[in-house]
Amino acid sequence: MASDLFSADTVQNIVDTATHMLSPHGPNGTLTPTDFSVHFFLQITAIILACRVVGWLGQKLLAQPQVVGEMIAGVVLGPSLLGLLFPGLAAELFPKETKSVLYVGAQFGVGLYMFLVGTTFRGDHFRTNGKSAFAVSFSGIAAPFLIAVLITPMLLKVPGLFAEGLPQSQATLFMGACIALTAFPMLARIINERGLSNSALGTLSLTAGAFDDAASWCVLAIVLAIFGAGPGVAVLAIGGGVAYALLVILFGRRLLAPLGRAVERRGEMTHTVLAITLMVFCLSAFIMDAVGIHAIFGGFIVGTAMPRGKFVEELKKKVEPLTVVLLLPMFFTYSGLNTRMDMVNSASLLLIALGVLVASIAAKGVACYAAARLCGEDNRTALGIGALMNSRGLMELIIINIGLQKGIIGPTLFSMLVLMAIVTTMMASPLFELVYGRKARLSGELGAVPEQALS
């Protein structure tokens, strides 16, 4: 019996079984529910490993926050690197059929993270800096659209960048939305990791970034409506989003206050309170997704209405570690799987890509800096705001993925905008530290970078 267990045929059978472990086992080469499960757990292992390793390297070698390393890790796991060097392995690890599972996890992770960010939103800072936030936000939208008006006619002359026959007005609106975008989740995490969550500068930047992001999504809804989805898309997105935000702002805190009182009485958050809280988050994310904006705005908006004090402390203790370490990296990886960095493959295309990059940085950074200065902010603070507002991150990847999927742009322009998103995000944190952070920490205006940003 023992000899049968270790026979050559048995060993070969074990090897064959292990080799085909990731192969489809359903009829006609389809994946079974068990196949989805096997892939999912292996994918999560690879995602966490890649994010921690690349994040650590980014901190040590490039002085980048963990979140930027995670963004790069998502691209590394996609066709730009893993798929390019090891196409067979990439295809086995991330079959096309499993992307829908990752997509759902990605939306849940980034939405939950923005919900937690919303719980730290300081309304008093917003009221104090409301004028500056509006001015920075307006400038961060107006200047990019002006740049888009100037550069889009030239881009339309290059074959393959936009869909053939796309009207200049639609192309201009789409480019304006892409350049105006500030990566709300990325900006929020950089602000958290740099210790700016409770600062006036952090609140001002986050508020202005939220407005810019919402405006970009509304413009995208208009473009999609004009492009063929129908005017109902734009009406529902803008009208529904504004109506829901007003509802939460006016009545949210009063309706959710009993949750805070329950936590204060018990001194801890019970499973029942946690369950109700998560249901409220999911319902809010559903509403904003359903009207055509994005789930992350639903998470953030209802987060701002959550009770403060002990409630937030307990919520973060129970939810934040799992969100940051497990769920959020799924968002970066899903976007990275749709990113191709090998499309800009000629000198002329590279020159166009650099032009788009420079124009985007100038339009966003300079405009936000000038607006902050005109509103009375000192030079150092205005420079810090300009640096932070230039971060575009994976929200940019989301919006350009939609453009690619809907046929508004081609793969080449998509890749140029990916390059712009990565560069502007990587430069945001070091540039902020250079123009504001270092001096502010030395003078005691800001504390040291929190430990969680280094782990």
Q: Give the 3-state secondary structure percentages of the chain, helix then strand then coil, rounded to 5.
A: 80, 0, 20
Helix axes 393-405, 328-337, angle to 10 degrees: 40
* Cα–Cα distance, 336 to 72 (Å, whole number): 8
Which strand (E) or helix (H) includes residue 329? Answer: helix 328-337
Split at pLDDT 50, 70, 90, the class of 9 is low
Q: What is the DSSP string of 382-421?
A: HHHHHHHHT--HHHHHHHHHHHHHTTSB-HHHHHHHHHHH
Q: Is the pTM of this model over 0.85?
A: no
Higher local confidence (pLDDT), 205 or 101: 101
Mean pLDDT within 226-242: 74
Percent of the residues in the chain that have a pLDDT greater than 90, as a whole number: 24
Take residue 394 and report the two structure tokens written for it. Answer: 């994976």
Split at pLDDT 50, 70, 90, the class of 453 is very low
Q: Which of 340, 403, 417 is nearest to 171 (CA)?
A: 403
pLDDT digits (tens, 9 = 90+) for 177-229: 888 888 776 777 777 777 776 677 777 787 787 777 777 777 777 776 666 56
Contact between 263 and 314 under an 8 Å Cβ cutoff? The reply is yes
Contact between 333 and 109 under an 8 Å Cβ cutoff? The reply is no
Domain ranges of the chain: 101-454
* Cα–Cα distance, 111 to 296 (Å, whole number): 4
Query: Does the structure show a pLDDT above 70 at 122?
Result: no
Q: Output phi, psi for 390, to 5 deg.
A: -85, -5
Q: Which fold has domain 101-454?
A: Na+/H+ antiporter like fold (1.20.1530)
Higher local confidence (pLDDT), 200 or 312: 312
So what's the pLDDT on residue 130? 63
Let me know how long the chain is. 455
Split at pLDDT 50, 70, 90, the class of 85 is confident
